[in-house]
Amino acid sequence: MKLLYTIYLSLFFVVIVNAQQLKVTLEAESIIADNALFFDGTKYDAVTNPSGNYRFGRRISPHGDCIDVIGGFVFVTWYRGGMDDRHLMLSRKNLEDPNADWVTIEFPHQHIGFQGNPNVGDSHNIAAIAISPIDETIHILYDMHAYSSDDYPDDYFNYSVSIPNTAFVPDSDFNLSLFNPKQDFLKVGQNYERITYPSIHRAGDGSLVVRFRRGGAGNGDIFMASYDGSSWSNNWLYSDGSIPLPNRYSLYGEEKFLNGTYYSIFCIRYAQNDNYELNSGLYFAATDALPVTQSNQWVDINGNSLSIPIKNPDVVKIAEPADDYGTSDAPRISGGPAFTITENGAIHITTQVDNINVHYYRRLGEYVFSSDSGNGVPLGRMFHFNNYVFMVNLSGGRIIIKATPEGQNKWETIYYEVTDSTTFKHFNAVLKEDKLYVYLMENTPGDACPLHLQVFNLSDGIFNGVTPVRITIEAEDYDEGGQDVAYYDTTEGNLGGEYRTDDVDIEARATASNGYVVTHFKGNEWMQYTFQVDSAGIYTFNLIAANPNQDSSIVDVEINGVKYEKFLVTRTFNWDVFLPSSLPGIMLNEGENVVKITQRKSLSSLPDKLEFVSDIQLVNTSNTLNQQTTIFPNPSNGIFNIKTNDPNLRYSVLSLEGEIVQQGILTHNEIDLSNYPKGIYLLQLSSDNGTDIKKLVLY
C-alpha cells in the first residue's frame, strides 16, 4: 500500500473517499474438545416434569466470562459432558505457534446440578476466568447459584487460583499441579454465601475486578472486589438492591473496562412491578479509577458525581425502552443490555422489548440519546473497532457480524459464512486489538458436544482503507408508473399490506435495512428503478436479499439496457438474514441510470435493497503525459489495447493493494492480463513526456 500511495502523491492524484467500512476475515479455526457438557432433554419442573434434565436453560459450555486472551495465549473454561461426567475443565492454546495444540486441565470438581441434583443441569452455574499479568496467575470462579454454606458446605462458593508465574508455562507443564486446592473464599473473613453470576474483568494495569450478585431475582445486591497481583480486597457494595419494598430490585447487565474507564450499564428487575414483565430501563455509571473500589469517584451519564452504593437506581437512569417500544400492557425485557463505548466517546446500547430489537446511541458532545428499532438492529455481543460498532451473533447456527458507523444506526451485514456446513448452538466472544476470538459450541445432538474457536482479523476499509462511493436503492422504492411500466406483478393488490398501495407485495421485516422487503416475489415478476449518478464510472452491483433454501435462486438483472441473465442470489439460510450478491464491472453514466430485476426462481428470495459501489475514483490533476493516450476495450476480459502518440512507453500494472503484477516496455501497444484474477488494476504509464495512471477493469 505504501507504494501505491507514493505513486498517487508523486503524480498529484486525489483519491475521493466517501466512507470507510469495517472488514472481517476468518483467520483461523480449531476444535477445542469434542465432549463439552450441554443440557439435553426436557426442562425440569418439580410438579409437571420431575424427571426433566435441566432447569432454566440448556447452555452451560461456553457461558459467562469463559474466555480470556492474554500474553499470546487463549484460555477457555467449560464442563465436560455428558451428565454423568460434568467435570470443570480449563483449556489453553498458544496463539503464536500455528502448530500448537490445545492443552487441557481436568479439575476434580463436578457441576453440582440444580439444587444439588446431579441429574438436572443449572445454567446459572457459569465458570468465569481471568489472568492477572502482574503475577501471572489464573483465576476461575465457578458453579454457584445462591447457595448457603449450611446447604452446600463444600460447594457454596468455588474458587480456583494457580500459583504465581504459571499462566504461561510451556504446554508440557500445563497441568493440575499448577493450581492451589479449591477455596470457598477470595479473602478470609469475607461473606461469599448466596452468590450468583460471577464475572472477572482485567484493568489496564493488570489488576482484576470481580463482580457477583448476592441474593436473587428482584432482591439482589451487587458486590465487587479487586485483586492487586498479590491479594483480594474486601467485598464492597456497588448496588444495594435489598432496600425496602416497593423499591427492592436486582440488576441485570455487565461491566467493561473500555478506553481506561470502567463502565456499568444495566437494566432493573423490581421485586414488585405491575408496569413491566421482568426487566425495565437502561442505567449508566462509570469510574476512571483503577482498580475499582467503593471509595472511587463514580459519575452518571452526564459526569455528575454518584454516591456508591447505588440505592435508588433512578438517579442513573438514561432511558425506558419498555415505554418507548413496548407493545403489550406489561412490556417484557428478559435479559441485560449489550453495550460498547468507542474511543471517540460514542455510546451504543441494544436490548429487546417484546421481541423487538432496540438500539440507543449517542455521540460525544450530545446530551440526548437517539433510538431506533428498525434498520436491522441486531442483538448479540457488542464491540467497537476504530470508528465502527459491531455485533456478533448466530443466525441459522452460523456466525453473523453486523456493523454500523459509530454514533449511527446504519447496520450492515459484514460477515456471514454460508458455505461451511458446521452450525453452532451458542457462543461467547472477546476482542483484543484487531482480533476477534469467538468461542462456540457445535450444534450436535446429545449432552456432549464439540467446542470450537474461530479467530477473525479486523481491518478498516475496502482496498486497505480506501472505500468507494455507495449508491443505495431500497427494493420497495421502485419507480412510479404502475403495472408493465414500473413493475410487473402477477397478483392483485399488495399482499404484504405495507409501505405502498399498488400491486407489488411489500411487508415489514425488522432485520431489513429500511424495515421493509419485497415479498411473494414470483417467477417473471420484475421491478424497475431509475436513479441518478454524480460521476460516470465502473461500479459493482450488489443485490442484498434473503434466500434461505435454494443454492440455485436466480434473477435477471438489466442495467441501462444490458441484460445479465441468471444472476445467482447468495443463499443466506434464513429469511431474516440479508446478504449481497455481486456483479462487478458495471458501467454507469453520469446522470440518469436504470436497473431492472426479474425473478426467475419463484419465491426463492426476498429483495431488501440494491447497491452500486464504485471503484476508487481517480481525479487526475497532472498534465504531464500526452492526454491522447486511450485504452480499449476497458473493461476487458484480458487484452487491453493502448493507443498513444508516445513510443516505447514504460508501464507497470498494480493491484489495488499496491503490488506490481506486471511491468515492462509497451512495444506492441497492448497489455495481456488474461491470466490474472478478475478485478480492478492500476496502470502506470511513463515516458520522457511524463507519467500518467489509468484504471483497468478485468472481467
The predicted-structure confidence for 265-280, as pLDDT tens digits, reads as follows 999 999 998 899 999 9
More confident residue, 2 or 320: 320
Q: How far apart are CA 409 and CA 259, in angstroms?
A: 22
Q: Is residue 467 very low, low, confident or very high in pLDDT (cuts 50, 70, 90)?
A: very low
Is 60 exceeded by the pLDDT of residue 627? no
The one-character DSSP state at 336 is P
Is 60 exceeded by the pLDDT of residue 656? no
Which pLDDT belongs to residue 1?
Answer: 25
Q: What is the mean pLDDT of residues 70-89?
A: 97
Find out whether the peptide bond into 635 is cis, omega within 30 degrees of 0: yes
Q: What is the mean pLDDT of residues 71-80?
A: 97
Is 90 exceeded by the pLDDT of residue 675? no
Q: How far apart are CA 430 and CA 436, in angstroms?
A: 6
Is 80 exceeded by the pLDDT of residue 225? yes
Contact 361, 409 (CB under 8 A): yes
Is 90 exceeded by the pLDDT of residue 45? yes
Contact 101, 92 (CB under 8 A): no
Is 90 exceeded by the pLDDT of residue 62? yes
Which pLDDT belongs to residue 689?
Answer: 67
The grid cell for 240 is: 444495594
Tell me the average pLDDT of the chain.
Answer: 89
Which pLDDT belongs to residue 619?
Answer: 35
Q: Is residue 690 very low, low, confident or very high in pLDDT (cuts 50, 70, 90)?
A: low
More confident residue, 287 or 661: 287
Is 60 exceeded by the pLDDT of residue 366? yes
The one-character DSSP state at 7 is H
pLDDT above 70: percentage of residues in the chain: 92
Q: Is residue 11 very low, low, confident or very high in pLDDT (cuts 50, 70, 90)?
A: very low
Q: Is residue 124 very low, low, confident or very high in pLDDT (cuts 50, 70, 90)?
A: very high
Residues 6+ apart with CB under 8 A from 413: 376, 400, 401, 402, 577, 578, 579
The grid cell for 41 is: 432433554
Mean pLDDT lowest for which of 32-46, 181-195, 235-249, 544-558?
544-558
The grid cell for 204 is: 489496564
Which pLDDT belongs to residue 550?
Answer: 81
In this prediction the pTM is 0.75
Is 50 exceeded by the pLDDT of residue 6? no
Q: How far apart are CA 518 and CA 476, in angstroms?
A: 6
Nearest Cα to Cα of residue 649 among 635, 670, 634, 622? 670
Find out whether the peptide bond into 62 is cis, omega within 30 degrees of 0: yes
Is 90 exceeded by the pLDDT of residue 352? yes
More confident residue, 505 or 663: 505
Which pLDDT belongs to residue 416?
Answer: 87
- Give the domains, in start order, of the chain with CATH numbers: 2-18+617-698 (2.60.40.3080), 470-614 (2.60.120.260)
Q: Is the dihedral of CA 650, 653, 658, 660 positive or negative?
A: negative
Is 60 exceeded by the pLDDT of residue 336? yes
Residue 246 burial class via C-beta count within 10 angstroms: exposed 0-12, middle 13-18, buried 19 and up:
exposed
Which pLDDT belongs to residue 468?
Answer: 61
Mean pLDDT lowest for which of 286-300, 353-367, 370-384, 677-691?
677-691
Q: Is residue 571 very low, low, confident or very high in pLDDT (cuts 50, 70, 90)?
A: confident
- CA distances to 637, 662, 682, 685 from 659, rounded to whole Å, are 21, 9, 10, 16
More confident residue, 153 or 660: 153
Q: What is the mean pLDDT of residues 406-433?
A: 90
Which pLDDT belongs to residue 19?
Answer: 37
